[in-house]
Structure 1
Amino acid sequence: MNVLVTGATGFVGRRLVDALLETAHDVTVLVRDADAYDQPGDVTVVEGDVLEPGGFEASLEDVDVAYYLIHAMDASGDFAARDRLAARNFERAASDAGLERIVYLSGLGSDADQLSSHLASRREVETILAAGSADVTVLRAAVIVGDGSASFRMVRQLATRLPVMITPQWIETPCQPIAIDDVVAYCLAVLERPETAGGTYEIGGPDVLTYREMLIETAEIATGRRPLIVPVPILSPRLSAYWVGLVTDVPKELAYPLIGGVRNPVVVTDDRLAQLVDVEPTPFDVAVRRALDTDHEATPHLETRTQPRRDAE
Structure 2
Amino acid sequence: MSEPRTVLVTGATGFVGRRLVPELLDAGHRVRAMTRRPEGYTGPGEAVLGDVHDPPTVAAALEDADVAIYLVHSLDTGDFERRDADAARDFGRAAAAAGVRQIVFLGGLGSDEDDLSPHLRSRREVERVLGEGGVPVTVLRAAIVVGAGGISWEMTRRLVKNLPAMVVPRWAATRTQPIAIDDVVRYLAGVVDNEAARGRVLEIGGADQLSYLEMLQQAAHEMTGRRLPILQAPVGTPVLSSWWIRLVTGVDTTTAANLIESMGNEVVVTDPAIRDLVPGEPLSYAEAVRRALADG
What's the TM-score bracket when you normalise by the shorter of the two chains?
over 0.9
Q: Does the 8 Å CA contact 2:67/2:193 hold for their aligned counterparts?
A: no
The equivalent residue for 2:21 is: 17
Residues 1-313 of structure 1: pairs in structure 2 closer than 5 A: 1-40=5-44, 43-73=45-75, 75-293=76-294
Deviation at 1:76, TM superposition (A): 3.0
Give 3-state SS (helix, strand or coil) of 1:140's partner.
strand
Give 3-state SS (helix, strand or coil) of 2:32's partner.
strand
Give 3-state SS (helix, strand or coil) of 2:56's partner.
coil
Give 3-state SS (helix, strand or coil) of 1:56's partner.
helix
Q: Does the 8 Å CA contact 1:6/1:30 hold for their aligned counterparts?
A: yes
Give 3-state SS (helix, strand or coil) of 1:198's partner.
coil
CA RMSD of aligned residues (A): 1.3
Q: Which amino acid aligns with 1:21?
A: L
Q: Does the 8 Å CA contact 1:163/1:226 hold for their aligned counterparts?
A: no
The equivalent residue for 1:299 is: none
- Cα 1:192–1:100, aligned 2, differ >3 Å: closer, same or farther? closer
Q: Which amino acid aligns with 2:72?
A: I
Question: Is there any run of 5+ residues in structure 2 with no aligned partner, and where?
Answer: none
Matched residues, number: 292
Deviation at 1:77, TM superposition (A): 3.0
Deviation at 1:192, TM superposition (A): 4.8
Q: Does the 8 Å CA contact 1:241/1:259 hold for their aligned counterparts?
A: yes
Q: Does the 8 Å CA contact 2:197/2:277 hold for their aligned counterparts?
A: no
Q: Which amino acid aligns with 1:5?
A: V
Give 3-state SS (helix, strand or coil) of 2:69's partner.
strand
Q: Runs in 1 of length 4+ with deviation above 6 angstroms?
A: none
Give 3-state SS (helix, strand or coil) of 1:35's partner.
helix
What fraction of aligned residue pairs are identical, expressed as a percent? 51
Q: How big is each residue's C-alpha offset from its partner over 1:176-197, in whole Å with a ceiling of 9 and x where there is no partner? A: 0000000000011111521110
Q: Does the 8 Å CA contact 2:238/2:257 hold for their aligned counterparts?
A: yes
Return the TM-score normalized by structure 2: 0.96
Q: How big is each residue's C-alpha offset from its partner over 1:121-171, in whole Å with a ceiling of 9 and x where there is no partner? A: 000000101212111000000000100110111111112221211111111
